[in-house]
Amino acid sequence: MSNKARIIKGPPAEKVVLDCSVGQYFLECLRKHSNRIFEIDAETGQFQTNGDILEKSVKLAEILKRRDIKVEDKISIAAENHRNWFVAALAGIYVGAVIAPLNPSYTKFEMKHILNISKPRIIFVSRRSEKLYSEVIANLSWEIELIELDDEALTSNIPTLKGLLETTDCYIDPYRYTPVDIGDNKKRPILILCSSGTTGLPKGVTLSHQNLLNFARNGNKSDYLDIAQDDRILLFLPLYHGYAFAILSIAIIFGSTLVRITNFSVELLFTSIERYRITFLPIVPPVLIILAKHPAVPSYDFRSVNRVLCGAAPLPKELLMEAKKRLHVKSITNGYGMTEVSIVIGFSDKSGENDNAISKLMPGVQCKIINPETFETLGPMQPGELCIKGEHILMLGYYGNRKATDETIDKDGWLHTGDVCLYDESGKLFIVDRLKELIKYKGYQVSPVEIEVLLLSHPAVKDAAVAGKPDENSGELPMAFIVKQPNSKVTAEDIVDYVKGQMSPQKWLRGGVRFIDVIPRNSTGKIMRRELRNLASNL
């Protein structure tokens, strides 16, 4: 085959798309599965059925209407993975509001920035976040009502969800309730999700009802997630992130059961998989590393797990093989996506032959690799920036930020991901790195991920990250941050020599090695390289 550049395409998009609202679709699914268990608290074993969620969310929707919440008003949820998170989100969706979930651990500075993007009218808080949000909203230019998700608020003037549901004089039959008509589901927003903020302050990614319906309808087909009604899904991913919201949506639609972890710990992860006989495990790369390397894993029974989904991060073959062996699964499905393209655009093949390759693009998705400087479309095995196109997948834009939207989606409708990728002759995509995270050493562009892949294969390394250390003569020097395995006696010199023996000179750890207790990562497992670069520059 020639090296001619081409567009990589998924299957044709379905001609018939759902023209209802997400609220209507979710309502029908909750009614259909009303007797099934919707979610279980992993720590206590307490559970709620789909019928429980349906009844509470419909009543709360009526309460929101009485508070004059209308189509496209914004509602935020600033809480950990709380049992009432689902109720608040669904009620807002039924009345046509836009849900703008918030990270409950934001600092005051971050909160003010994010709140000024979406300007919510109501924020559902928990006792963990109530005090800080009470302080922040007092100094904003518009009025915000706080509603406490826990049964008791810290302050008496904040209503609780429990109190509202028990005392409000309204009853709506949840099996006859009709959600608000939202109009055109292609244009009507349903979510404002925060971008990860790796380049400047976070932006609000706006997704439409059709974006979410398209994902939910196509993402669970047999070539992709293939989640079934009898699946038990472990959910420790933060609900304010698109990854978790995607899993939540599929669980609602297909009647699966979520096992919810609120306070993540390695021990709770292991015991929950065993106790609740988890069948589907959506994880992030740091958790895959734990499953591959933690010495306690063989002590637990993970044989119930038949599918694992992990974000698209290059990982050593040895690490993947060890994780598959310990979990007794044939393959670990790799998914690639970003919030701006309705969460995910493709997955690896379930055969287990190449878990790092994205070979199953979603219907209607088109991809190309370009030279980021000349914008020339590249051929097979030529690394460049991944660009994505698709009528039903692209976000509506960054909320209130036309400039950032135009910088991300070009005039021809291609979304520029900022990810360095390549594809082989068969059209399989391989994620290499982030454009803005490449280390510039003497004119060379060095991928920190490539070095991390090698470092993670070292038996003495528990976790690793690489960042550029500023250098007057060379620009940047690759520097490694290492978390050692317990009782390991590995030295910095050992690590430097390990890389030197297997990589070309521009990738050597000329910036040195620093042993640390934990690699800084955000809630979705992405390495916070900005923190590492700041640390490296001060060494």
Domain count, the chain: 3
If asked whether residues 222 and 361 sit together in one domain, one would say yes
Would you tell me how many other CB atoms lie within 10 Å of the CB of residue 494? 13
- What pLDDT, on the 0 to 100 scale, is given for residue 218? 86
- Token output for 10: 């998924």
- What pLDDT, on the 0 to 100 scale, is given for residue 17? 66
If asked whether residues 138 and 268 sit together in one domain, one would say no
Q: Would you say 364 and 393 are in contact if contact means Cβ atoms under 8 Å apart? A: yes
Average pLDDT by stretches of 10, the chain with 539 residues: 76 78 97 98 98 97 96 97 98 98 86 93 97 94 97 95 88 93 96 71 91 89 90 96 93 97 95 98 89 93 94 73 91 90 91 83 95 94 95 93 94 94 93 84 86 92 94 90 95 96 93 95 80 86
- What pLDDT, on the 0 to 100 scale, is given for residue 15? 66
If asked whether residues 453 and 472 sit together in one domain, one would say yes
Strand partners, 480: 466, 513
Q: Do the domain assignments include residue 374?
A: yes
- What pLDDT, on the 0 to 100 scale, is given for residue 313? 64
String of DSSP letters for 73-106: -EEEEE-SS-TTHHHHHHHHHHTTPEE--B-TT-
If asked whether residues 260 and 326 sit together in one domain, one would say yes
State the residue for tokens 């135009």.
406
If asked whether residues 379 and 443 sit together in one domain, one would say no
String of DSSP letters for 197-227: -SSSS--EEEEEHHHHHHHHHHTTSTTTT--
- CATH number for 179: 3.40.50.12780
Q: Which domain holds residue 42?
A: 22-184
If asked whether residues 227 and 372 sit together in one domain, one would say yes
Alpha carbon distance 525, 333 (integer Å): 17
If asked whether residues 28 and 149 sit together in one domain, one would say yes
Q: Do the domain assignments include residue 349?
A: yes
Q: Do the domain assignments include residue 202?
A: no
If asked whether residues 131 and 240 sit together in one domain, one would say no
If asked whether residues 307 and 168 sit together in one domain, one would say no
If asked whether residues 380 and 234 sit together in one domain, one would say yes
Q: Do the domain assignments include residue 14?
A: no
- What pLDDT, on the 0 to 100 scale, is given for residue 13? 83
Q: Cα–Cα distances in Å, from 301 out to 32, 236, 305? A: 33, 19, 9
Alpha carbon distance 521, 527 (integer Å): 4
